[in-house]
Structure 1
Amino acid sequence: MRASLIQIAVDEDESVDSRRGRVAALVRNQAGVDLVVLPELWTTGAFAFEEFGRAAEPLEGPTYEAMAKAASDTGVWLHAGSIPERDPDGALYNTSLVFSPSGELAAGYRKIHRFGFDKGEAVLMGRGEDLVTVRLPGTTVGVATCYDLRFPELFRGLVDAGAETLVIPAGWPERRRAHWTLLAQARAVENQAFVLACGTAGTHAGVPQAGHSIVVDPWGEVLAEAGAGEEVLTVEFDPGKVAATREQFPALKDRVL
Structure 2
Amino acid sequence: MQQIIAAAIQFNVQQGDVEANLSHVRDALARVADRGAQLAVLPELWSTGFAYRTLTELAQRTDAVVAELQELSVRHNLVIVGSQPEPAGDNRVFNTIHVIDRGRIAATYRKLHLFSLLGEDTAFKGGERWCLAETSLGKIGVIICYDLRFPELSRRLALEGADLICVPAQWPKPRQEHWRTLLRARAIENQLPVVAANACGLIGKLDFFGMSMVIDHCGEVLADAGERPGEVLATLDRQAMTAWRAQIPCFADRRPDLY
Query: SS of 1:56's equivalent?
Result: helix
Question: Could you give the per-residue CA deviations for residues 179-212 of structure 1, whole angstroms, max 9, x where no partner exists?
Answer: 0000000000110100111101122221001200
Question: Could you give the per-residue CA deviations for residues 136-164 of structure 1, whole angstroms, max 9, x where no partner exists?
Answer: 34532111000000000001111121112
2:123 maps to which residue? 124
Structure 1 unmatched ranges of 5 or more:
none
Q: CA deviation at 1:87?
A: 3.7
Q: Which amino acid aligns with 2:10?
A: Q
Q: Are the aligned partners of 1:82 and 1:94 in contact in 2 as well (CA < 8 Å)? A: yes
1:76 paired with 2:78, answer: yes
- Number of aligned residues: 251
Matches within 5 A, 1:27-176: 27-31=29-33, 32-46=36-50, 48-57=51-60, 61-79=63-81, 81-87=82-88, 91-101=92-102, 103-117=103-117, 120-137=119-136, 139-176=138-175
| TM-score (ref. length: structure 1) | 0.91
Q: Are the aligned partners of 2:101 and 2:136 in contact in 1 as well (CA < 8 Å)? A: no
Query: SS of 1:85's equivalent?
Result: strand
Query: SS of 2:219's equivalent?
Result: coil
Q: Distance in 1 between matches of 2:37 and 2:194?
A: 17
| TM-score (ref. length: structure 2) | 0.90
2:26 maps to which residue? 24
Matches within 5 A, 1:103-252: 103-117=103-117, 120-137=119-136, 139-252=138-251
Once superposed, what is the RMSD of the aligned Cα atoms? Answer: 1.8
Query: SS of 2:129's equivalent?
Result: coil
Q: Distance in 2 between matches of 1:86 and 1:38?
A: 20
Moved more, 150-159 or 30-39: 30-39
Q: Percent identity?
A: 35
Q: Distance in 2 between matches of 1:149 and 1:11?
A: 24
Query: SS of 1:30's equivalent?
Result: helix
Q: Which amino acid aligns with 1:2?
A: I
1:11 maps to which residue? 14
